[in-house]
């Protein structure tokens, strides 16, 4: 369709900016000239209907949102705790879309809980930066009901991630997983309508996601959610919040008393790798824990990390795409988590929402609902 559409040009500028696109990038992806897009956004030229549909698709916005009378007021973005020199400071369109998706899922969860009469408030405890991370970690392991004997019985990193995620979701924290640019963000946390949310980067190594999960949980309990690039910044002493979250996450994953019984006399790679397998964490986390407990010096820590990062040792395995892979139902559980999926399925079963609504919230087809019902019952 080629008819022209009356729109508020400020809405078009808002939609592009909130999606994270520059004028040149958006114009290139849309297949129009920069001049045309600028004229749409300044009101010098009205967009065609097909052009407006293209904008809605590119910005991942409902078409109706581009027909609003004025730009809506966006919620402030999560705080930015990324400190690595090579980190992109501006979030990409992909990362911005994941943040919007996570917020939408949290709002959906809030609405469904209201319809179902669920009045369970989030169970995230509250601590301060002045608290001792070692003591807090002990308390949290008891709260999450993870004994060291159980942790060391997990045979794979995938099993470890599933268990840590399940225990944190049991505290009424929504844990989602979506793919994002890995050098840009490893995870983030936010609180939307009183619902605490953690999002992990599905493109990351499983061992790294385990640490990020605990790191973001620490952000929630100190009421400082945000966007992070944790793990490789274990010595981020220049930023109090990140240093605290790194310390608490590492102490939660590697109990001090258990590690001190097994500390090697020399920080050799083989001994570090064995400890990493015991606790199902990355070797960086073990090395950082050894430094925190003063088993190695800062100089030794930096020497070993530099050697690992320059390729003298193979880097941690990254998550890779597999041909075939899990079906939609399994992907839905991996992405949205058992807590959210169970809530949607409960609302559908009690007929508070239609089956078509459930598929929209879960990103699946109608014939996947029965499979999901069996997985979360």
Q: Which pLDDT tens digit goes with each residue over 184-196? A: 999 999 999 999 9
The pLDDT of residue 231? 61
Q: Which pLDDT tens digit goes with each residue over 250-289? A: 999 999 999 999 999 899 999 999 999 999 999 999 999 9
The pLDDT of residue 287? 95
The pLDDT of residue 84? 56
Q: Which pLDDT tens digit goes with each residue over 201-229? A: 999 999 999 999 999 999 999 999 999 98
Structure tokens at 313: 């040792």
> Average pLDDT of the chain?
91
CB 81 within 8 A of CB 226: yes
Determine the Cα angle at 360 with ends 60 and 65, to 5°. 35
The pLDDT of residue 57? 97
CA 179 centroid distance within chain:
9
pLDDT band at 81 (very low <50, low <70, confident <90, very high): confident
In sequence order, what are the beta bridge partners of 191? 196
CB 15 within 8 A of CB 58: no
Neighbours of 243 (CB within 10 A): 17
Structure tokens at 184: 């840009």
* Structural domains present in the chain: 9-67 (1.10.260.40), 93-309 (no CATH), 321-376 (no CATH)
pLDDT more than 90, % of the chain: 80
Closest residue by Cα to residue 109 from 345, 334, 331, 332: 345
Neighbours of 105 (CB within 10 A): 23
Residue 317 has pLDDT above 50, yes or no: no
Residue 235 has pLDDT above 80, yes or no: no
Residue 176 has pLDDT above 90, yes or no: yes
pLDDT band at 124 (very low <50, low <70, confident <90, very high): confident
Give the three-class secondary structure for 149: helix
Average pLDDT over residues 340-362: 96
CB 165 within 8 A of CB 337: yes
Structure tokens at 142: 């008891």
The pLDDT of residue 313? 45
Residue 145 has pLDDT above 60, yes or no: yes
CB 295 within 8 A of CB 304: no
Give the three-class secondary structure for 176: strand
Average pLDDT over residues 5-24: 96
CB 99 within 8 A of CB 78: yes
Per DSSP bridges, beta strands 195-201 and 187-192 are: antiparallel
The pLDDT of residue 215? 96
**Alpha helices for the chain (secondary structure H):** 9-19, 23-30, 34-42, 49-59, 93-116, 133-144, 148-151, 157-169, 206-221, 240-253, 256-260, 269-279, 283-292, 298-309, 328-349, 355-362, 369-376
CA atoms of 56 and 62, how far apart (whole Å): 6
Residue 315 has pLDDT above 80, yes or no: no
CA atoms of 32 and 54, how far apart (whole Å): 10
The pLDDT of residue 318? 52
In sequence order, what are the beta bridge partners of 80? 227
The pLDDT of residue 183? 87
Structure tokens at 181: 């640019």
Average pLDDT over residues 289-298: 93
The pLDDT of residue 240? 87
């Amino acid at each position: 369709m080629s008819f022209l559409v009356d729109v508020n040009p400020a809405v078009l500028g808002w939609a592009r900016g909130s999606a994270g696109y520059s004028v040149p990038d958006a114009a290139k992806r849309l297949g129009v000239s920069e001049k045309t897009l600028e004229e749409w956004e300044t009101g010098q030229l009205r967009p065609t209907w097909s052009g407006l549909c293209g904008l809605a698709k590119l910005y991942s916005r409902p078409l109706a949102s581009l027909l609003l009378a004025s730009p809506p007021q966006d919620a402030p973005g999560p705080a930015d705790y990324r400190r690595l020199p090579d980190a992109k400071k501006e979030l990409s369109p992909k990362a911005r879309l994941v943040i919007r998706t996570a917020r939408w899922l949290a709002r959906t969860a809030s609405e469904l809980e209201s319809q179902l009469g669920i009045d369970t408030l989030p169970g995230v405890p509250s601590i301060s930066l002045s608290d001792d991370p070692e003591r807090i970690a002990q308390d949290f392991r008891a709260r999450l009901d993870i004994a060291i004997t159980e942790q060391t019985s997990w045979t794979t990193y995938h099993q470890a991630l599933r268990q840590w995620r399940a225990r944190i979701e049991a505290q009424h924290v929504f844990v989602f997983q979506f793919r994002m640019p890995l050098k840009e963000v490893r995870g983030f946390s936010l609180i939307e309508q009183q619902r605490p949310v953690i999002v992990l980067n599905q493109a990351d190594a499983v061992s790294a996601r385990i640490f990020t999960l605990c790191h973001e949980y620490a952000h929630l309990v100190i009421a400082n959610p945000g966007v992070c690039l944790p793990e490789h910044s274990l010595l981020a002493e220049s930023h109090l919040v990140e240093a605290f979250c790194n310390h608490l996450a590492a102490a939660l994953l590697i109990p001090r008393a258990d590690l001190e019984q097994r500390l090697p006399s020399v920080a050799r790679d083989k001994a570090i790798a064995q400890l990493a397998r015991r606790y199902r964490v990355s070797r960086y986390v073990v090395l950082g824990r050894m430094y925190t407990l003063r088993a190695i010096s800062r100089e030794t820590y930096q020497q070993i990390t530099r050697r690992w990062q320059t390729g003298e040792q193979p880097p941690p395995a990254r998550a890779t795409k597999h041909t075939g892979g899990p079906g939609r139902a399994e992907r839905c559980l991996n992405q949205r988590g058992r807590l959210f999926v169970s809530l949607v399925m409960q609302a559908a079963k009690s007929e508070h929402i239609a089956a078509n609504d459930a598929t929209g919230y879960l990103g699946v087809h109608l014939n996947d609902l029965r499979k999901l019902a069996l997985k979360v019952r």
